[in-house]
Structure 1
């Protein structure tokens, strides 16, 4: 049907039953690793904001729910985002170059502490 790619074509579902839609949406995590992806359709403006948020904050810190974009900042605070101006208001994690590390003297040697690695969440 016009596509020569080996990938399967996307399937678009329009559901009238809100309970069924929510049930499918909340159980989509069971599809992990199966090659099946369930994603929400967003308007062009919201999709643009969502993609900008993913670039700025990372894929694991951004999600959508019922057409609304949410971002989790580095402090763990959830923000509802509707525009790029809202993204600009969310505080980014201070980078190491913005903050001068404390320097200590130990036996005549300059000691600069290393930044700690962020613990991965599993």
Structure 2
């Protein structure tokens, strides 16, 4: 992935240089006399060459993007059996025992044993500010899915679970939650789900897909949607005493009329 990123960066630099030189040449071409036949043919050849170059660069850019997305999908598939445990203190010597204890007690999964964990270690450099996440890779996908399913049981504890997303997908996930809200974005098996302001749930994997959603739903639409009721999708009506008073008075009036009719009989 790093090699593809470098390749994409090099192409962007090449495009910037070509764009600058073509713009300079076009400015000189326009400044020259437009009546000469040679100048007219030169201008025609230049524009044809420019369109050809931009077409080739566009195809190359698309091929690089497709290749990067394919590699990202393969890497994400390799990570399907892994989860990140956040919040386990650095003072814990044996992180494997701490993870097993969390799974069996906090997640209420006593049947999961240490033999079903094939990899368990911390990620990143040690820091005094916060504890490093613990990467846990399970023996089968079903075990990982069972643990992930019970993640809500960790609410109120110091430990939390998250998926082991690729770098590009994690960046997309963070952007999506920042724009659409934390409660409207989540991931399952590496696929990011975004609940849009119109209530539709859209699954995305790349930053380009997120950019299209952001263009479709500007920030004003997202802000308005956050002020609606979660179930009906409409704004909460303001409480009013006037709406309840007529029903109460009419009910009392009907009772009085009923008593009068009974007394006459």
| TM-score after normalising by structure 2 | 0.34
Structure 1 unpaired stretches of 5+: 97-116
CA displacement at 1:10 relative to structure 2: 2.3
Which residue number in structure 2 is paired with residue 114 of structure 1? Answer: none
How far does residue 82 in structure 1 lie from its aligned partner after superposition?
A: 1.7
Whole-Å separation in 2 of the counterparts to 1:60 and 1:94: 16
The equivalent position to 1:83 in structure 2, one of 201, 206, 209, is: 206
| SS of equivalent to 1:76 | coil
Between the aligned partners of 2:203 and 2:172, the Cα distance in structure 1 is 11
How far apart are the structure 1 equivalents of 2:193 and 2:151? 18
Secondary structure, in 3 states, of the residue corresponding to 2:183?
helix
Contact 1:74–1:93 (8 Å) recurs in 2: no
* RMSD of aligned alpha carbons: 2.4
Larger radius of gyration: 2
Q: Distance in 2 between matches of 1:45 and 1:25?
A: 22
Q: Matches of 1:17 and 1:79 in 2, distance apart?
A: 28
Point out the more displaced range, 10-19 or 39-48. Answer: 10-19
- Unaligned 5+ segments in structure 2 are 1-89, 91-124, 222-226, 232-265
Equivalences for 1:42-57 in 2 at 5 Å?
A: 42-57=165-180
1:26-105 correspondence runs (5 A): 26-90=149-213, 91-92=216-217, 95=220
More helix by share: 2
Moved over 4 A (4+): none
Aligned equivalents of 1:12 and 1:26: distance in 2? 17
